Amino acid sequence: MNPTKIFLGAFLVNNILLMRFIALCSFFGVSTSINTSVGMSAAVIFVTLLAAWVSWVLYHALLAPLGLVFLRTAVFILVIAGLVQFVELFLKRYVRALYSAMGIYLPLITTNCAILAVTFLNIDYGYNLLQSTIYALGVAAGYALAIILFAAIRERLEDSPISQSFRGYPIAFVGASLISLAFLGFASLFGITL
Amino acid sequence: MSVPPRPSRLRYLTSGIVKENPVLILMIGLCPTLATSTTTSDALGMSAAVAFVLIGSNVVISLVRRFVQPEIRIPIFIIIISTFVTIIDYALQAYQPSLYRVLGVFVPLIVVNCIILGRAEAFAYGHGVFDSLLDGIGNSLGFALMVVVMGVIREFTASGSILGKALTPAFYRQAPMLFLLMPPGAFFLIGILKALVNRFGIGKG
Amino acid sequence: MDWSIVLKSALALGGCGIGIAILLLIASIKLAVKVDEREAAVRAALPGANCGACGFPGCDGYAAAVASGKAPPNACTVGGPAVAGEVGRIMGLESTAAEAPVAVLICRGGLAEAPRRFHYEGTYNCRQAALLLGGPKGCVYGCVGMGHCVGVCPVRAITMGADGLPDIDEAKCIGCGVCVRDCPKQVIRLLRRPKLVYLACASHDRGKAVKSVCQVGCIACGVCVKNCPAGALTLVDNLPVMDEAKCIDCGICVHKCPTGSFVDRAKGRPQAIIHKNCTGCTLCATKACRFKAIEGEPKQQHRVIAEKCIGCGECIKVCPVDAISMVGALGHAERLT
């Protein structure tokens, strides 16, 4: 499939957060301020790429040839957990600046549905390594776009007069619903289906 | 010497249904709730899958808790949970292929479902087997309640029927309200439900 | 039962697990970051408010800087002398506490003095309102008055006054600087606590442009510059800039300013009194006092008109027989003699 279509499909049309409902827990938890959202997005992009590569290689080199496809759930999640731990140690030692920017979000990412979803979908859609990379980038960029936009709105919501029952999560959900409605406008962009 | 009565163990079961409902009160496990509540039957199917994994993993983790070091407990939980998820994954593929096609990637995503990992960490690791079983059943029922309620509402407004049985006149079913069926509608609906919960003060705190 | 599958999956999964475990083990050894115990001890001694007043990113940042020798032990103004002493003890250094500055508002244009030019219907927050054409106030340089600083102050030292300007309680203010950083118009600044007189206007316009939007704004007339006995004021970009090293807090600028743009923080001002040994040389009345507060005939005992005297102390400097002294408030006597 056309790389641009893969990217746009993941980034806009089938936005992982707003259209596919994946990674919502972190979405509502982290998006209270733009700074934390940017930090979280950076961590997600970083780990998604690495996880996509490692899991793709492990699947095609180890699990599939040995007929152990059923182990992919366990293997992928273990890989992600180990990867996150390794990345945290690596950044803390060698790239201190990046660690202080996004280090605290790394443990949160282990249970981030989006990364596991990317590893599974790469297999299910039958992508090769290059296509998997583009897809992973598209999903992570889509996550970043959605969460940063949403954080900007939530920051303004904090100062607005909202009735008691709607304060906090309810108005955030309604806000997310409106952004999701806007993203629906991307449906059928360049012929990419929902 | 008077001993205060031990609180009933039944509360482990009941707290997970309404008072500490994982989806609406604790706000965890949102992804599958919104994604699989498009129709009532899908909602029921997902609840059953989550129940299987949650109850199973709660019991097993509670059984092995004494042998698991605190430092490596998260990977151990993940392995146990992924075992149950793999079982239900293949079981659904074999016995309910249509449901499996609808649920799609959300079946393997049960492994990182915040509810299951959360209950394992918060409850099963520190309580006995029977209590963990009750807790697992309670939270599964709580999740099922939320997801099925949303499924009923969404299916009813979008196709005028519940579980495939038509409940509205034909003119409605010809031009139904699709909003709640689509992703924006799901967000909107759960926002309204959470606002109602806040308004009537249901739940802890 | 196909045992080979069981064996293969056990080996594969076990292999992955062991592989990851070994990788992480090697990583945790080779990538270990040495933790300085002194840094941990310093961090434990800090108040943990993460306000940034020390100039470092949070208490963790300051602890790291102290442990690596890049920061003095007394930079924590919130912790005060107690924390400075403890940090100094941990690091084996001498330290005296730094005095916390106080936040002051450099705008006096409230609802009465600086009227709004349009009615604003939007999110009631200074930062949001300032985005819309610079805010609803006539003067775009001044305080928006919607209380953003009230909300961000970590010790609740700021309250909104009825005049539409925030009121900063000097006793509660810890000088952390969060309000300074957050104000969209940058009209809050940190002042050294001993400093008493400061300019309370941020308008870079002059003359009629200022007068038309604010009754108390600085019109850049330069009278303060001309009258400052210490030469501490210079007019830069239509605002008098005060050289705080030269300023003696005499208060002449406060009273000479036609629009009242200066603020004197002193709770009370001393007064000059002329003693019996006055020779009547009239130097004080004619050459020194700018406020016509001294009266007296030549060769006769002069006296100070109490209502007009502002306690600037210029007369003391010119009296040839030391006949004048200050009486009254708050340590001014030490400064001016």
Q: Would you state the structure tokens that stand for residue C145, as one six-digit string?
A: 């008055």
Report chain A residues whose CB lies below 8 A from the CB of C124.
Answer: 159, 161
The residue with tokens 């500055």 is: C101
Question: By C-alpha distance, which of C250, C278, C280, C274 is closest to C262?
Answer: C250
Using CB atoms, pick whichever of A28, A72, A174 lies closest to residue B188: A174
Residues of A in Cβ contact (< 8 Å) with C32: 93
Q: Which of B33, B46, B87, B105 to mutate to test the interface with A (most CBs of A within 10 A)?
A: B105
pLDDT of residue B173: 76
Q: Which residues pair with B136 in a beta bridge?
A: none
Q: Which residues in chain B belong to E strands, given as ranges?
A: 161-162, 165-166
Q: Residue B161 in 3-state DSSP? A: strand
Domain residue limits at A8: 3-189
> Looking at the structure, do residues C258 and C276 belong to the same domain, yes or no?
no
B31-54 tens-digit pLDDT: 899 999 988 999 999 999 999 999
Residues of chain B with Cβ-Cβ distance to A68 below 8 Å are none
For residue C31, the chain A residues in CB contact (below 8 A) are 89-90, 92-94
User: Where does a domain end: C158, C174, C194?
Assistant: C194
User: Is residue A154 a part of any domain in this protein?
Assistant: yes
Does A113 touch chain B if contact means CB atoms closer than 8 Å?
A: yes
Element (H, E) at B43: helix B40-64
- Using the Cβ of A89 and the Cβ atoms of chain C, whether some distance falls under 8 Å is answered with yes
**Can you read off the two tokens belonging to residue A5?**
């279509």
B87 has a chain A CB within 8 A of its CB: no
Residue A194 belongs to some domain of the structure: no
Q: What is the pLDDT of residue C44?
A: 82
Alpha-carbon span C96 to C82, nearest angstrom: 9
Q: Does C25 touch chain A (CB under 8 A)?
A: no
ipTM of model: 0.86
Average pLDDT over residues B7-16: 78
Compute the nearest-CA separation of A173 from chain B (Å): 5
Record: contact A25-B184, CB cut-off 8 A? no
Q: What is the CATH number of the domain that holds C46?
A: 1.10.15.40
Query: By the CB < 8 Å criterion, does B191 face chain A?
Result: yes
Asked whether residue C185 falls in the same domain as residue C247, the answer is no
Q: Please tell me if residue A97 touches chain C, with a CB cutoff of 8 Å.
A: no
Query: Judged by CB atoms within 8 Å, which residues 2-21 of A form the interface with C?
Result: none
pLDDT at site C95: 57
**Domain assignment present for C179:** yes
Contact A159 C123 (CB under 8 A): yes
| Total domains in the fold of chain C | 4
Contact criterion met (CB < 8 Å) for A89 and C27: yes
CB distance from A177 to chain B under 8 Å? yes
Q: Is the pLDDT of residue B205 over 50?
A: no
| pLDDT > 90 in chain A, percent | 37
pLDDT band at A173 (very low <50, low <70, confident <90, very high): very high
- With contacts defined as CB-CB under 8 Å, which chain A residues touch C17? 78
Nearest-CB residue to A78 (from C20, C33, C123): C20
SS in 3 state form for chain C? CCHHHHHHHHHHHHHHHHHHHHHHHHHHHHCCCCCCHHHHHHHHHCCCCCCCCCCCCHHHHHHHHHHCCCCCCCCCCCCHHHHHHHHHHHHCCCCCCCCCCEEEECCCCCCCCCCECCCCCCCCCHHHHHHCCCCCECCCCCCCCCCHHHHHCCCCCEEECCCCCEEECCCCCCCCCHHHHHCCCCCEEEECCCCCEEECCCCCCCHHHHHCCCCCCCCCCCHHHHHCCCCCEEEECCEEEECCCCCCCCCHHHHHCCCCCEEECCCCCCEEEECCCCCCCCHHHHHHCCCCCEECCCCCCCEECCCCCCCCCHHHHHCCCCCEEEECCCCHHHHHC
CA distance B20 to B173: 37
Cβ distance A171 to B28 less than 8 Å, yes or no, reads: no
Clarify whether residues C294 and C328 are in a common domain.
yes
The reply to whether A45 falls in a domain is yes
- Please report the pLDDT score of residue C96 as a whole number: 59
To the nearest whole Å, the CA of B109 is away from the closest chain A CA by 6
- Whether the per-residue pLDDT at A193 is higher than 90: the answer is no
The confidence score (pLDDT) of residue C329 equals 64
**The two structure tokens encoding residue C114:** 């600086």
Domain holding C251: CATH number? 3.30.70.20
- Contact state of C27 with A70 under an 8 Å Cβ cutoff: no
* Count: domains in chain A: 1
Give the helix ranges, DSSP H, for chain A: 3-8, 24-30, 34-58, 72-94, 96-102, 106-109, 113-124, 129-157, 169-184
Task: Please tell me if residue C68 touches chain A, with a CB cutoff of 8 Å.
Answer: no
C29 close contact with A: CB closer than 8 A: no
- The minimum CA-CA distance between A169 and chain B, rounded to whole Å, is 7
Chain B residues whose beta carbon lies within 8 Å of the beta carbon of residue A170: 191-192, 194-195, 198
pLDDT value for B30: 87
Q: In B, which residues are within 8 Å of A178 by CB distance?
A: 184
Higher-scoring residue by pLDDT: B37, B202? B37
C119 and C187 inside one domain: yes
Residue A106 vs residue B123, higher pLDDT: B123
Which parts of chain C sit beneath pLDDT 70?
48-53, 55-58, 77, 94-98, 329-337
pLDDT for B148-190, tens place per residue? 999 999 998 888 888 877 777 777 777 778 888 889 999 999 9
Residue A46 lies in a domain: yes
Query: Which residues 122-141 in chain A show a CB within 8 A of chain B?
Result: 124
Q: Which of C248, C265, C282 is the last residue of a domain?
A: C265
Q: Quote the CA–CA distance of B47 and C92 in Å, as a whole number.
A: 62
Q: What is the pLDDT of residues C61-111, one digit of tens each?
A: 778 788 877 777 777 767 777 787 888 888 777 655 567 789 999 999 999
Report the mean per-residue pLDDT for chain A.
Answer: 87
The token duo for A34 is: 């733009």
Of A19, A77, A176, the CB nearest to B82: A77
A-contacting residues in C 154-213 (Cβ below 8 Å): none
Chains that touch C (3 or more CB pairs under 8 A): A
Q: Show which of C173, C194, C215 is a domain's final residue.
A: C194
What's the confidence (pLDDT) of residue A121? 92
Q: Is residue A145 part of a domain?
A: yes
Domain encompassing residue C67? 37-91
Nearest to C31 among A58, A74, A93 (CB): A93
> What's residue A10's pLDDT?
92
User: Is C213 within a domain?
Assistant: yes
**Residue C179 and residue C113 in one domain:** yes
Q: Does A93 touch chain C (CB under 8 A)?
A: yes
Whether C27 is covered by a domain: the verdict is no
Average pLDDT, chain B: 86
Q: Among residues C214, C269, C219, which one has the least CA distance to residue C240?
A: C219
Domain ranges within chain B, ordered by starting residue: 10-197
Task: State the pLDDT confidence band at B5, using cuts at 50, 70 and 90.
Answer: low
Looking at the complex, report in whole angstroms how far the Cα of residue C6 sits from the nearest Cα belonging to chain A.
Answer: 10
B199 lies within 8 A of chain A by CB: yes
Half-sphere exposure of C102 (CA within 13 A, CB side): 19
- Is the same domain home to C72 and C139? no
* CB within 8 Å: C24 and A74: no
**Domain annotation covers residue C189:** yes
In a domain, C169, yes or no: yes
Best mutation site among A62, A159, A162 for testing chain C: the one with the most C CBs within 10 Å? Answer: A159
Question: pTM of the prediction?
Answer: 0.70
Provide the pLDDT confidence category of residue B2 given band limits of 50, 70 and 90. low
Residues in chain B with CB shorter than 8 Å from the CB of A111 are 112, 114, 117
Chosen for mutation from A50, A59, A68 (greatest number of chain C CBs closer than 10 Å) is: A68
A 10 A CB-CB count for C20 gives: 19
Q: Does the residue C24 lie in any domain?
A: no
